[in-house]
Amino acid sequence: MPDSSQPNSSQPDSPLFTPVRLGALALEHRVVMPPLTRMRSRQPGDVPHALNAEYYGQRASKGGLIIAEATDVSEQARGYPGAPGVHSAEQVRGWRDVTDAVHAKGGLIVLQIWHTGRISHSSMQPGGAVPVSASAVTPPGGHMDAQGRPVPFETPRALREDEIPGIVGAFRQAALNAREAGFDGVEIHAANGYLLDQFLQDGTNRREDRYGGSLENRARLLLEVVDAVAGAWSADRVGVRISPWGHFNGMSDSDPGALFDHVAAQLGTRGLAYLHIVEPRADQNSDTNALDPNAPDAASRFRTRFGGPVIAAGGFVKETAERVVAQGSADAVAFGRLFIANPDLPERLRQGAPLNRYDRSTFYGGDARGYVDYPSLG
């Protein structure tokens, strides 16, 4: 149902509809579709297929940027049944149909690449092994198994230091595969409690080797991954996503401000396309898009440290997005739930048109319902 509370007048002077450049990516507007896990790849094999190409093609716009959903860099990286991969030839061929659909509408698309680390289950791991992490710290709550059934989290195995080059290599190869699949770049997922974030934050990183302890050591794996991926393709086609002060998936750090100041500053020396920052202000558990005025303004703080283009994400609506762009806190804004329900979201925002309501019950897994059946204007 359309939300009639939305404004109904066009605002052509909106700062969201001015050009911007994110590294090698030249955008005609600043309304970004962020990576949204939907768990609808073809099984077996976690292969993107025609339904995924239709979904992304619907949401493409001329000069607009789509960041495709988090995608496994290896079999070990798997953590969600139905999430796609980019480590097999069949997966690469499937992704080519997706990128072709987006490019046919004049859009740009980059692929978010991830390793879920401890946010997995042995039923999804090669040989039934327990998931890996920075340290053997069990996440709170529960997860799902390979069939999507609820299960308790398992205690992960701490990666050995001699295994870490293999993790870096998997990210590097994923970037090469993404390039072969026709993507315009890649985004490295270092947010929301997945493997790279597990190394960054001291609530999950209890290591005593060169990957643990100090800020420099805990950031080492992320920076090695970034350097390997940039070396395999081009730094100006690589973005990184972080979630400072985020607690999703049981994350915590004793001094997140200092940690992410260091991370942003180090990333800023590498000529990357952008830094994608998940605002801790977002209320992730309701549909109100409420913002906590007492939480840090992460985009403003880390934009200064990073010094390059920034995408802000987390609970934004048109008015708040326009504000952060106008005041220079971010160069572009990502709208997640709104893009799920509004395949033509940039045009709706441009016109001030009513928005479709999203259906949370169809967010994860399933078929075409709640995926490619939301109406566009007209």
| Model confidence pLDDT, tens digit, residues 99-149 | 999 999 999 999 999 999 999 999 999 999 999 999 999 999 999 999 999
Q: What is the pLDDT of residue 13?
A: 85
Whether 331 is in a domain gets the answer yes
Asked if 76 and 123 touch (Cβ cutoff 8 Å), the reply is: no
Q: How many domains does the chain have?
A: 1
- Asked if residue 360 has pLDDT above 70, the reply is yes
> Does the active-site annotation cover 194?
yes
Residue 10 has pLDDT above 70, yes or no: no
Separation of alpha carbons 251 and 137, rounded Å: 11
Does residue 372 fall inside a structural domain? no
Axis crossing angle, helix 256-267 with helix 298-306, rounded to the nearest 10: 40
- Number of other CB atoms surrounding residue 131 within 10 Å: 26
- Has residue 368 been placed in a domain? no
Greatest Cα pair distance, the chain, in angstroms, is 59
CATH number for the domain harbouring residue 28: 3.20.20.70
Determine the average pLDDT of the residues in 153-160: 98
The range of the structural domain enclosing residue 152 comes to 2-362
In order of 62, 89, 121, 237, the CA distances from 108 in angstroms are: 8, 22, 34, 11
d(CA 204, CA 250): 9
Cα 198 from Cα 192, distance rounded (Å): 9
Task: Report the C-alpha gap between 149 and 147 in whole angstroms.
Answer: 6
Residue 283 lies inside a defined structural domain of this protein: yes
Residues 6+ apart with CB under 8 A from 338: 317, 345, 355, 358
Whether residue 44 lies inside any domain: the answer is yes
Among 56, 194, 358, 364, the one annotated catalytic: 194
The single-letter DSSP state of residue 128 is: G
Tokens read off for 326: 């106008």
The answer to whether position 30 is within a domain reads: yes
Q: Enter the DSSP assignment of 115.
A: -
pLDDT tens per residue, range 169-206: 999 999 999 999 999 999 999 999 999 999 999 999 99
Q: Give CA–CA dist 340/249, Å, rounded.
A: 22
Beta carbons within 8 Å of 148's beta carbon, 6+ residues apart:
81, 82, 365
Are 17 and 318 in contact, with CB atoms under 8 Å apart?
no
Does the pLDDT at position 8 exceed 70? no
* Mean of per-residue pLDDT scores for the chain: 95
Q: Is 378 helix (H, G, I), strand (E, B) or coil?
A: coil
Residue 48's closest CA among 94, 112, 113?
Answer: 94
Q: How far apart are CA 74 and CA 126, in angstroms?
A: 10
Q: Give percent above pLDDT 70 in the chain.
A: 94
